């Protein structure tokens, strides 16, 4: 199937050039940007593109109301397609399907579930190009990044397919003579999963992988911005032979709160796992309290990225670029505040800005584009507000600093600011965009104190070659994940999650399994008698 797109946001190279001349500042001048493209994405297997249907009880169904919502390409603004606007009743149907399926699925062996997940993994890998196309289309990230996300997403299925047959209970020495104590790890039950748009595939597989590995069934509400990648994953689940009702994928946009309320209050749902903003996470936690569901919250971050004088500056620059600008700054673990010790501040700032100046911004489908659009206009407005706030409070815009309306309303220049101070909005709020602010600091104690001066604690990074400092600082950072001399920490084998208002629970790794289990203890009395003669 060919998808013909006409750009709604025509651009001219001259307009882009003049925009850059207005905004480029002293250290380095941005080279030329890539223009938004009218290129039409094509799928090798068009049947992966599911419109107007959700996947419930092994079937493709419409919303009972017949209502749909539109999803748009963030690069061009063009309509991608329409999806069912599920409501409370539709969601209850999906929960009922998951409940019915749970009875049989919980009794399958780990080896059987492993094979199902492995088959799904194989299909994701086989269809990686199409999944990447869908991700770029609806999320905007460049094709290379989208392919990277598909690999990352698939790896959660692979990892948890390998964990499924290795779910062990414990034997526990009792303190009461004659008693024998052991534990059984059981699936918690039907799980409600709610995921964000910034990783349309990986945030879902990171939840479904462990849920299925232990024998749970799921109802997953996709983000309104990026419903088509999850629906393609559902089609692959079907082809993999995942039993009906085990995986249910529902879509909603205007009805998001209504669907969320059902998932968090319906007593059949025994576990909710949410990835998204801290504010929504708090709301869902309140809603879950009525039925005391098991809960995992993967929420917002405000990651500190500290570069000490003893760091390898080039390595730190590469790490900061990778961490800050991944998905155009739209990941929860992106560096949000870059602290650079005064002795290397100028060198770091110059090298960092030079590296950022090499980016090519544009439509993610365009060859050579390194950074795509932001997800929507609200995101762009927030980024701009953060830059203007910093500027007004004395920061210097070294590179970028402006919207790129010539490319479309969702594009923003990769931006570097120096002279950042802690009273600026960027110090306390997650920017979630392509803006890097460099804060100078003098001592290790000061850096750690400022890094921790935030209510959230997801990821933190630092660069140092001093072994004692590495241990000291890693131990003092109030975060759930620390990157030392690297800006990339995501790995299905490693526990992902936060502390403080970044939430609780861990995804990926051995620890990700426990989030979908309950531990049942069995005490067997009268077992201490002597051998019978």
The residue within the footprint of ligand NAD, chosen from 132, 246, 299, 383 (CB under 6 A), is: 299
The mark string for 273-312 relative to ligand SSN (x by CB under 6 A, - otherwise) is ----------------------------------------
Which residue's C-beta sits nearest to ligand SSN? Answer: 490
Q: For residue 68, what are its two tokens? A: 């749909």
Residue 305 is classified by DSSP as E
Separation in Å, CA 78 to CA 5, 6, 83, 102? 7, 7, 15, 40
> By C-beta, is 113 or 221 nearer to ligand NAD?
221
138, 225, 298, 430: the catalytic one is 298
The residue within the footprint of ligand SSN, chosen from 16, 56, 191, 333 (CB under 6 A), is: 333
Dist. CA 265–CA 205, nearest whole Å: 24
301 binds, options ligand SSN, ligand NAD, none, Cβ within 5 to 8 A by partner type? ligand NAD
Give the shortest CB-252-to-ligand NAD separation in angstroms.
7
Give the shortest CB-55-to-ligand NAD separation in angstroms.
16
Dist. CA 299–CA 440, nearest whole Å: 27
> By C-beta, is 183 or 277 nearer to ligand SSN?
277
Answer for the pair 80, 1: CB distance below 8 angstroms, yes or no. Answer: no
Answer for the pair 146, 364: CB distance below 8 angstroms, yes or no. Answer: yes
505 binds ligand NAD (CB under 6 A): no
Separation in Å, CA 195 to CA 23, 121, 349? 36, 19, 35
332 binds ligand SSN (CB under 6 A): yes
224 binds, options ligand NAD, ligand SSN, none, Cβ within 5 to 8 A by partner type? ligand NAD
The residue within the footprint of ligand SSN, chosen from 86, 137, 199, 352 (CB under 6 A), is: 199
Size of the site for ligand NAD (CB under 6 A): 25
Residue among 505, 513, 131 at smallest CA distance from 296: 505
The residue within the footprint of ligand NAD, chosen from 41, 189, 224, 487 (CB under 6 A), is: 224
**89, containing H or E segment:** helix 88-105
Dist. CA 327–CA 84, nearest whole Å: 27
> By C-beta, is 316 or 332 nearer to ligand SSN?
332
Strands (E), 287-425: 294-298, 303-307, 335-341, 396-399, 415-418
Asked if 100 is an active-site residue, the reply is no
Q: How many CB atoms lie within 10 A of CB 214?
A: 24
521 binds, options ligand NAD, ligand SSN, none, Cβ within 5 to 8 A by partner type? none
The residue within the footprint of ligand SSN, chosen from 143, 331, 336, 502 (CB under 6 A), is: 331
Place of tokens 């799980």: 191
Interacting residues toward ligand SSN by CB under 6 A: 198-199, 331-333, 490, 496
Which residues carry out catalysis?
A: 298
């Amino acid at each position: 199937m060919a998808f013909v797109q006409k750009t709604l946001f025509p651009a001219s190279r001259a307009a882009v050039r003049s925009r850059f001349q207005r905004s480029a500042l002293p250290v380095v001048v941005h080279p030329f940007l890539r223009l938004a493209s009218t290129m039409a994405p094509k799928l090798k297997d068009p049947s992966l593109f599911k419109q107007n249907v959700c996947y419930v009880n092994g079937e493709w169904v419409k919303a009972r109301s017949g209502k749909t919502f539109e999803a748009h390409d963030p690069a061009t603004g063009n309509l991608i397609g329409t999806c069912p606007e599920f409501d409370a009743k539709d969601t209850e149907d999906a929960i009922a399907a998951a409940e019915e399926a749970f009875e049989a699925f919980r009794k399958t062996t780990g080896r059987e579930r492993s094979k199902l997940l492995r088959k799904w993994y194989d299909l994701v890998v086989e269809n990686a190009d199409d999944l990447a196309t869908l991700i770029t289309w609806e999320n905007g990230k460049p094709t290379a990044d989208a392919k990277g996300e598909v690999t990352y997403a698939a790896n959660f299925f692979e990892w948890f397919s390998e964990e499924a047959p290795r779910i062990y209970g414990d034997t526990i020495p009792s303190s009461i003579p004659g008693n024998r104590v052991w534990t059984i790890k059981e699936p918690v039950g039907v799980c409600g999963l709610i995921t964000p748009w910034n990783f349309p595939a990986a945030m879902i597989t990171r939840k479904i992988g462990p849920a299925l590995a232990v024998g749970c069934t799921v109802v997953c509400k996709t983000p309104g911005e990026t419903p088509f990648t999850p629906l393609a994953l559902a089609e692959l689940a079907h082809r993999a032979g995942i039993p009906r009702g085990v995986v249910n994928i529902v879509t909603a946009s205007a009805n998001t709160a209504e669907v969320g309320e059902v998932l968090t209050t319906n007593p059949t749902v025994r576990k909710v796992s949410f990835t998204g903003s801290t504010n929504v996470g708090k709301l869902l936690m309140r809603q879950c309290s009525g039925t005391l569901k098991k809960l995992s919250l993967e929420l917002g971050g405000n990651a500190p990225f500290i570069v000490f004088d003893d760091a390898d500056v080039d390595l730190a620059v590469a790490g900061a670029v990778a961490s800050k600008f991944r998905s155009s700054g739209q990941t929860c673990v992106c560096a949000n505040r870059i602290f650079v010790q005064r002795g290397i501040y100028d060198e770091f700032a110059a090298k960092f800005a030079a590296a950022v100046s090499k980016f090519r911004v544009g439509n993610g489908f365009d060859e050579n584009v390194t950074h795509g659009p932001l997800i929507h206009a609200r995101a762009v407005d927030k980024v701009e507000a953060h830059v203007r706030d910093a500027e007004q409070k004395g920061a210097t815009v070294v590179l970028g600093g402006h919207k790129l309306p010539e490319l479309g309303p969702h594009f923003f220049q990769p931006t570097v600011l120096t002279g950042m101070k802690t009273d600026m909005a960027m110090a306390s709020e997650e920017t979630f965009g392509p803006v890097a602010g460099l804060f100078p600091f003098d001592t290790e104690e000061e850096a750690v104190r400022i890094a921790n001066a935030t209510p959230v604690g997801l990821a933190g990074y630092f660069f140092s070659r001093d072994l004692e400092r590495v241990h000291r600082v890693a131990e003092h950072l109030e975060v759930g994940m620390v990157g030392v001399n690297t800006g990339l920490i995501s790995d299905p084998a490693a526990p992902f999650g936060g502390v403080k208002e970044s939430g609780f629970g861990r995804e990926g790794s051995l620890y990700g399994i426990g989030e979908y289990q309950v531990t049942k203890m069995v005490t067997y009395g009268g077992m201490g008698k002597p051998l019978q003669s």
